[in-house]
DNA sequence: CAAGAATCCTGAATGC
DNA sequence: TGCATTCAGGATTCTT
Protein backbone atom coordinates (compact mmCIF):
# COMPACT_ATOMS: atom_id res chain seq x y z
CA UNK A 1 0.00 0.00 0.00
CA UNK A 2 2.64 2.44 0.89
CA UNK A 3 3.77 4.82 -1.80
CA UNK A 4 6.50 7.44 -1.57
CA UNK A 5 4.85 9.69 1.08
CA UNK A 6 4.05 6.74 3.33
CA UNK A 7 7.56 5.34 2.98
CA UNK A 8 9.01 8.78 3.70
CA UNK A 9 6.83 9.04 6.81
CA UNK A 10 8.21 5.73 8.01
CA UNK A 11 11.76 6.84 7.27
CA UNK A 12 11.26 10.02 9.29
CA UNK A 13 9.75 8.05 12.12
CA UNK A 14 12.82 5.85 12.26
CA UNK A 15 15.06 8.92 12.27
CA UNK A 16 13.04 10.25 15.22
CA UNK A 17 13.64 7.02 17.12
CA UNK A 18 17.37 7.86 17.12
CA UNK A 19 18.60 4.30 17.15
CA UNK A 20 22.38 4.29 17.52
CA UNK A 21 23.28 1.29 19.67
CA UNK A 22 24.73 -1.79 17.96
CA UNK A 23 22.62 -4.78 17.02
CA UNK A 24 22.90 -7.48 19.66
CA UNK A 25 20.36 -9.95 18.37
CA UNK A 26 18.59 -10.74 15.13
CA UNK A 27 15.32 -12.65 14.91
CA UNK A 28 13.70 -13.64 11.66
CA UNK A 29 10.37 -15.46 11.26
CA UNK A 30 10.35 -18.64 9.22
CA UNK A 31 8.13 -17.16 6.52
CA UNK A 32 9.34 -16.12 3.10
CA UNK A 33 8.90 -12.45 2.31
CA UNK A 34 9.08 -10.81 -1.10
CA UNK A 35 9.94 -13.18 -3.91
CA UNK A 36 12.01 -12.31 -6.96
CA UNK A 37 15.66 -12.57 -7.86
CA UNK A 38 16.85 -9.49 -5.94
CA UNK A 39 15.41 -10.77 -2.68
CA UNK A 40 16.70 -14.33 -2.60
CA UNK A 41 19.58 -13.62 -0.25
CA UNK A 42 18.66 -11.58 2.79
CA UNK A 43 22.10 -11.68 4.48
CA UNK A 44 20.59 -10.36 7.70
CA UNK A 45 23.24 -11.95 9.91
CA UNK A 46 25.74 -9.42 8.55
CA UNK A 47 24.04 -6.88 10.83
CA UNK A 48 25.23 -8.62 13.97
CA UNK A 49 27.17 -6.07 16.01
CA UNK A 50 26.58 -3.29 13.47
CA UNK A 51 25.51 0.22 14.45
CA UNK A 52 22.59 1.93 12.73
CA UNK A 53 23.53 5.14 10.91
CA UNK A 54 21.76 7.37 8.42
CA UNK A 55 18.39 6.63 6.87
CA UNK A 56 17.68 7.38 3.24
CA UNK A 57 14.82 6.73 0.89
CA UNK A 58 14.77 6.01 -2.82
CA UNK A 59 11.36 5.62 -4.42
CA UNK A 60 9.45 3.22 -2.19
CA UNK A 61 12.61 1.77 -0.65
CA UNK A 62 14.05 2.60 2.73
CA UNK A 63 17.84 2.41 2.88
CA UNK A 64 19.25 2.15 6.32
CA UNK A 65 22.99 2.38 6.69
CA UNK A 66 24.72 0.23 9.32
CA UNK A 67 28.38 0.13 10.22
CA UNK A 68 29.98 -3.14 11.19
CA UNK A 69 32.51 -3.39 14.09
CA UNK A 70 35.33 -3.21 11.53
CA UNK A 71 33.83 -0.06 9.99
CA UNK A 72 32.33 -1.63 6.92
CA UNK A 73 29.18 0.22 5.79
CA UNK A 74 26.18 -1.96 5.06
CA UNK A 75 22.74 -1.19 3.68
CA UNK A 76 19.56 -2.64 5.08
CA UNK A 77 17.07 -2.32 2.24
CA UNK A 78 13.42 -2.38 3.22
CA UNK A 79 10.41 -2.50 0.94
CA UNK A 80 6.99 -2.32 2.58
CA UNK A 81 5.08 -4.02 -0.22
CA UNK A 82 1.36 -3.69 0.37
CA UNK A 83 1.07 -4.20 4.09
CA UNK A 84 4.54 -3.76 5.57
CA UNK A 85 4.99 -1.84 8.79
CA UNK A 86 8.01 -0.75 10.81
CA UNK A 87 7.96 -0.17 14.52
CA UNK A 88 10.19 0.34 17.54
CA UNK A 89 9.36 -1.67 20.63
CA UNK A 90 10.77 -2.96 23.88
CA UNK A 91 11.82 -6.61 24.21
CA UNK A 92 9.09 -7.35 26.76
CA UNK A 93 6.36 -6.26 24.37
CA UNK A 94 4.83 -9.29 22.70
CA UNK A 95 5.37 -9.64 18.98
CA UNK A 96 2.17 -8.93 17.08
CA UNK A 97 1.13 -11.45 14.43
CA UNK A 98 3.03 -11.35 11.15
CA UNK A 99 6.19 -9.95 12.69
CA UNK A 100 9.00 -11.11 10.44
CA UNK A 101 12.15 -9.33 11.53
CA UNK A 102 13.32 -8.07 14.91
CA UNK A 103 16.64 -6.30 15.40
CA UNK A 104 17.49 -5.91 19.05
CA UNK A 105 19.86 -3.11 19.95
CA UNK A 106 22.22 -2.80 22.87
CA UNK A 107 20.04 -0.09 24.48
CA UNK A 108 17.25 -2.65 24.85
CA UNK A 109 15.08 -1.37 22.07
CA UNK A 110 13.96 -3.31 19.03
CA UNK A 111 13.27 -2.51 15.41
CA UNK A 112 10.40 -4.65 14.13
CA UNK A 113 9.15 -5.34 10.65
CA UNK A 114 5.58 -6.59 10.38
CA UNK A 115 3.91 -7.60 7.14
CA UNK A 116 0.67 -9.66 6.99
CA UNK A 117 0.63 -10.11 3.23
CA UNK A 118 4.37 -10.65 2.96
CA UNK A 119 4.74 -8.70 -0.27
CA UNK A 120 7.37 -6.62 1.44
CA UNK A 121 11.01 -7.56 1.77
CA UNK A 122 14.25 -6.91 3.63
CA UNK A 123 17.81 -7.37 2.40
CA UNK A 124 21.33 -6.48 3.47
CA UNK A 125 24.09 -5.57 1.03
CA UNK A 126 27.29 -3.58 1.15
CA UNK A 127 26.58 0.16 1.07
CA UNK A 128 29.20 0.94 -1.49
CA UNK A 129 27.40 -0.46 -4.48
CA UNK A 130 23.82 -0.45 -3.35
CA UNK A 131 22.75 2.31 -5.74
CA UNK A 132 24.52 0.64 -8.65
CA UNK A 133 22.76 -2.67 -8.14
CA UNK A 134 19.21 -3.73 -8.80
CA UNK A 135 16.64 -3.01 -7.64
CA UNK A 136 17.77 0.57 -6.96
CA UNK A 137 19.75 0.90 -10.17
CA UNK A 138 16.63 0.20 -12.19
CA UNK A 139 14.55 2.94 -10.67
CA UNK A 140 13.54 6.01 -12.62
CA UNK A 141 14.19 9.56 -11.40
CA UNK A 142 13.33 10.64 -7.89
CA UNK A 143 10.30 12.92 -8.18
CA UNK A 144 11.29 15.12 -5.25
CA UNK A 145 14.74 15.90 -6.64
CA UNK A 146 15.17 19.49 -7.77
CA UNK A 147 16.09 18.17 -11.20
CA UNK A 148 12.70 16.53 -11.67
CA UNK A 149 10.91 18.18 -14.59
CA UNK A 150 8.27 17.39 -17.18
CA UNK A 151 11.05 16.94 -19.71
CA UNK A 152 12.35 13.98 -17.70
CA UNK A 153 9.01 12.24 -18.09
CA UNK A 154 8.66 13.23 -21.72
CA UNK A 155 12.11 11.89 -22.46
CA UNK A 156 11.06 8.44 -21.34
CA UNK A 157 7.49 8.41 -22.54
CA UNK A 158 6.96 10.63 -25.54
CA UNK A 159 7.22 7.66 -27.90
CA UNK A 160 5.19 5.39 -25.70
CA UNK A 161 1.73 4.16 -26.50
CA UNK A 162 1.08 3.08 -22.92
CA UNK A 163 -1.62 4.88 -21.07
CA UNK A 164 -0.23 7.56 -18.82
CA UNK A 165 -1.62 6.15 -15.58
CA UNK A 166 0.09 2.80 -16.12
CA UNK A 167 3.32 4.53 -17.13
CA UNK A 168 3.34 6.49 -13.86
CA UNK A 169 3.03 3.27 -11.90
CA UNK A 170 6.16 1.93 -13.61
CA UNK A 171 9.02 2.44 -11.15
CA UNK A 172 11.49 2.60 -14.02
CA UNK A 173 9.73 5.67 -15.38
CA UNK A 174 9.59 7.55 -12.10
CA UNK A 175 10.22 6.14 -8.64
CA UNK A 176 7.77 6.12 -5.77
CA UNK A 177 4.37 6.69 -7.36
CA UNK A 178 1.53 4.24 -6.80
CA UNK A 179 -2.09 4.21 -7.80
CA UNK A 180 -3.42 6.78 -5.34
CA UNK A 181 -0.92 9.51 -6.07
CA UNK A 182 -0.96 8.77 -9.82
CA UNK A 183 -4.71 9.27 -9.87
CA UNK A 184 -4.50 12.44 -7.79
CA UNK A 185 -1.68 13.92 -9.90
CA UNK A 186 -3.48 13.25 -13.18
CA UNK A 187 -6.61 14.91 -11.87
CA UNK A 188 -4.70 17.95 -10.79
CA UNK A 189 -2.87 18.14 -14.11
CA UNK A 190 -6.19 17.72 -15.94
CA UNK A 191 -4.98 14.72 -17.91
CA UNK A 192 -7.18 11.72 -18.65
CA UNK A 193 -5.62 8.64 -16.98
CA UNK A 194 -6.08 6.41 -20.02
CA UNK A 195 -4.64 8.70 -22.65
CA UNK A 196 -1.56 7.37 -24.48
CA UNK A 197 1.60 8.94 -23.10
CA UNK A 198 2.78 9.95 -26.59
CA UNK A 199 -0.21 12.23 -26.97
CA UNK A 200 0.87 14.60 -24.23
CA UNK A 201 2.32 17.97 -25.21
CA UNK A 202 5.19 19.70 -23.44
CA UNK A 203 2.79 21.84 -21.44
CA UNK A 204 0.99 18.71 -20.20
CA UNK A 205 4.29 17.07 -19.16
CA UNK A 206 5.13 20.17 -17.16
CA UNK A 207 1.74 20.26 -15.49
CA UNK A 208 2.03 16.58 -14.70
CA UNK A 209 5.49 16.90 -13.17
CA UNK A 210 4.33 19.81 -11.01
CA UNK A 211 1.21 17.92 -9.96
CA UNK A 212 3.26 14.86 -9.01
CA UNK A 213 5.56 16.94 -6.82
CA UNK A 214 2.60 18.68 -5.26
CA UNK A 215 0.59 15.58 -4.37
CA UNK A 216 3.66 13.79 -3.01
CA UNK A 217 4.76 16.74 -0.89
CA UNK A 218 1.26 17.18 0.43
CA UNK A 219 1.15 13.49 1.23
CA UNK A 220 4.37 13.76 3.22
CA UNK A 221 3.22 16.89 5.04
CA UNK A 222 0.15 15.06 6.25
CA UNK A 223 1.93 11.92 7.29
CA UNK A 224 0.85 9.73 4.39
CA UNK A 225 -2.49 8.33 3.28
CA UNK A 226 -4.25 5.71 5.38
CA UNK A 227 -7.16 4.16 3.54
CA UNK A 228 -7.01 1.04 5.61
CA UNK A 229 -3.73 -0.37 6.82
CA UNK A 230 -0.98 2.20 6.74
CA UNK A 231 0.54 3.10 10.09
CA UNK A 232 3.68 5.06 10.81
CA UNK A 233 6.49 3.96 13.12
CA UNK A 234 4.54 4.92 16.24
CA UNK A 235 1.40 3.14 15.02
CA UNK A 236 -0.60 6.19 13.97
CA UNK A 237 -2.51 6.48 10.69
CA UNK A 238 -1.76 9.27 8.22
CA UNK A 239 -4.08 12.20 7.57
CA UNK A 240 -3.69 12.68 3.85
CA UNK A 241 -6.78 10.59 3.04
CA UNK A 242 -8.85 13.64 3.99
CA UNK A 243 -7.15 15.65 1.29
CA UNK A 244 -7.58 13.29 -1.65
CA UNK A 245 -9.58 15.03 -4.36
CA UNK A 246 -10.55 12.06 -6.53
CA UNK A 247 -9.24 8.73 -5.32
CA UNK A 248 -12.09 6.78 -3.73
CA UNK A 249 -14.65 9.42 -4.71
CA UNK A 250 -16.22 7.78 -7.76
CA UNK A 251 -19.80 8.92 -8.24
CA UNK A 252 -19.28 11.96 -6.06
CA UNK A 253 -19.09 15.48 -7.46
CA UNK A 254 -15.82 16.96 -8.70
CA UNK A 255 -14.72 19.64 -6.25
CA UNK A 256 -14.10 22.02 -9.16
CA UNK A 257 -16.96 21.59 -11.58
CA UNK A 258 -19.45 19.42 -9.66
CA UNK A 259 -19.56 16.84 -12.46
CA UNK A 260 -19.91 13.29 -11.17
CA UNK A 261 -16.48 11.60 -10.95
CA UNK A 262 -16.18 8.43 -13.00
CA UNK A 263 -14.38 5.22 -12.19
CA UNK A 264 -12.52 3.07 -14.68
CA UNK A 265 -10.69 -0.22 -14.66
CA UNK A 266 -7.53 -0.82 -16.60
CA UNK A 267 -4.86 -3.45 -16.29
CA UNK A 268 -6.57 -4.87 -13.23
CA UNK A 269 -6.28 -1.62 -11.32
CA UNK A 270 -9.02 0.88 -11.04
CA UNK A 271 -9.04 4.59 -10.84
CA UNK A 272 -11.17 7.72 -10.89
CA UNK A 273 -11.25 10.84 -13.00
CA UNK A 274 -13.44 13.82 -13.80
CA UNK A 275 -14.96 13.32 -17.25
CA UNK A 276 -15.34 17.04 -17.72
CA UNK A 277 -11.93 18.28 -16.63
CA UNK A 278 -9.83 15.34 -17.76
CA UNK A 279 -10.78 14.99 -21.39
CA UNK A 280 -9.42 12.26 -23.55
CA UNK A 281 -8.29 13.72 -26.88
CA UNK A 282 -9.07 10.96 -29.34
CA UNK A 283 -10.96 7.96 -28.13
CA UNK A 284 -13.97 10.08 -27.30
CA UNK A 285 -15.11 9.35 -30.86
CA UNK A 286 -14.07 5.73 -30.82
CA UNK A 287 -16.23 4.95 -27.87
C1' DC B 1 7.35 -2.92 -26.61
C1' DA B 2 2.74 -3.24 -24.41
C1' DA B 3 -1.29 -5.32 -22.25
C1' DG B 4 -3.26 -8.82 -19.51
C1' DA B 5 -3.24 -12.50 -16.41
C1' DA B 6 -1.36 -15.14 -12.84
C1' DT B 7 1.30 -15.05 -8.80
C1' DC B 8 3.02 -14.05 -4.08
C1' DC B 9 -0.46 -13.46 0.75
C1' DT B 10 -3.89 -11.85 4.69
C1' DG B 11 -7.82 -9.48 6.32
C1' DA B 12 -11.61 -6.34 5.92
C1' DA B 13 -15.76 -5.62 3.67
C1' DT B 14 -19.56 -7.25 1.10
C1' DG B 15 -23.05 -10.62 -0.55
C1' DC B 16 -26.15 -14.43 0.15
C1' DT C 1 -24.71 -15.82 12.30
C1' DG C 2 -21.86 -18.03 9.12
C1' DC C 3 -19.68 -18.96 4.92
C1' DA C 4 -18.06 -17.56 0.31
C1' DT C 5 -16.54 -13.97 -2.63
C1' DT C 6 -14.20 -9.72 -3.73
C1' DC C 7 -10.88 -6.39 -3.32
C1' DA C 8 -6.62 -3.70 -1.63
C1' DG C 9 -2.03 1.52 -1.94
C1' DG C 10 3.02 -3.47 -5.07
C1' DA C 11 5.95 -5.80 -8.21
C1' DT C 12 7.56 -9.70 -10.97
C1' DT C 13 7.07 -13.11 -14.49
C1' DC C 14 4.96 -15.30 -18.20
C1' DT C 15 1.92 -15.27 -22.26
C1' DT C 16 -0.29 -13.11 -26.13
Check if residue A13 sits with its Cβ under 7 angstroms from strand C: no
Strand partners, A110: A89, A104
Q: Which residue is nearest to nucleotide C9 (CA to C1')?
A: A1
pLDDT of residue A36: 86
Contacts of A256 (CB under 8 A, 6+ apart): A274, A277
Q: What is the pLDDT of residues A60-88, one digit of tens each?
A: 999 999 999 999 999 999 999 999 999 99
Q: Which nucleotides of B are covered by protein (CB under 7 A)?
A: 1-6, 8-12
Sign for the pseudo-dihedral over CA of A238, A239, A243, A248: positive
Cα–Cα distance measured from residue A205 to residue A208, given in angstroms and rounded to the nearest whole number: 5
Cα–Cα distance measured from residue A205 to residue A74, given in angstroms and rounded to the nearest whole number: 38
Q: What is the pLDDT of residues A8-56, one digit of tens each?
A: 999 999 999 999 999 999 999 999 999 888 898 999 999 999 999 999 9
pLDDT of residue A157: 95
Query: Is the predicted pLDDT of residue A285 greater than 60, yes or no?
Result: no
Q: What is the mean pLDDT of chain A?
A: 93
Query: Is the predicted pLDDT of residue A115 greater than 50, yes or no?
Result: yes
Query: Is the predicted pLDDT of residue A286 greater than 50, yes or no?
Result: no
Q: Classify the phi-psi angles of A80: left when phi > 0, otherwise alpha if psi is within -120 to 50, otherwise beta.
A: alpha
- Report the predicted TM-score, pTM, of the whole model to 2 decimal places: 0.95
How would residue A282 be classed by pLDDT, with cut points 50, 70 and 90? low
Check if residue A68 sits with its Cβ under 7 angstroms from strand C: no
Q: How far is CA A220 from CA A2, A5, A8, in A?
A: 12, 5, 7
Q: Which residue is nearest to nucleotide B2 (CA to C1')?
A: A162
Amino acid sequence: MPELPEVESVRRGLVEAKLTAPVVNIWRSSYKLRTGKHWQTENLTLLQGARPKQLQRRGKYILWQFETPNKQPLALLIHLGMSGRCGVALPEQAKIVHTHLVLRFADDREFRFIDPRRFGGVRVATWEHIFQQPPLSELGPEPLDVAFRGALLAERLQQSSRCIRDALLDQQVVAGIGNIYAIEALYQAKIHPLVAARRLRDSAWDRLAKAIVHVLQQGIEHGGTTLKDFRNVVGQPGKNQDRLLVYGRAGKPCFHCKESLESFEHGGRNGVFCPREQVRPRSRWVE
